[in-house]
Amino acid sequence: MRILGKGIQQQAIDELEALPQNNPLRSKAIDLLLNLKTTLEFNQNIDEEDRDLIMRLSPIYEQKLAEVKQKGIQEGIQEGIQAERRNVIENLLRVRFGSLDAELRGITKALLALSPDEFTPLLLQLSREELLNRFL
């Protein structure tokens, strides 16, 4: 709320930036500030203080944008790894047992929870019945 008050905005923004990155209040306040920045930028009649506030909020906006982008990249990588693991598991099951029926598909999720070092020997050594008993 202090950020909305004229004259104390800089100190309030400094205090907000000083909060730890993982502080939920910091994240929510930054989201609200970015909405304020957008609103101010579209306003035709902004005064010098509002221009200064926009300039002060711009680096925060850029940092938030970079964080969101990095998070998206990391999530994409994780999804890609999971998809590749699923592919490997399903291919091994298909090669071992000739086809991938509903029962074998049913154990895929449990196998995905294991590392490749853990699931590979199981898929190569256990019989169909042993796999189904172990993971269903």
Return the domain boundaries, the chain: 2-135
DSSP 59: H
Cβ–Cβ < 8 Å for 26, 16: yes
Separation between Cα atoms, residue 97 and residue 127, nearest integer Å:
9
pLDDT at 65: 86
> Does pTM top 0.95 for this prediction?
no
The arithmetic mean of pLDDT across residues 38-59, rounded, is 80
In tens, the pLDDT along 58-107 reads 888 888 888 889 999 999 999 999 999 999 999 999 999 999 999 999 99
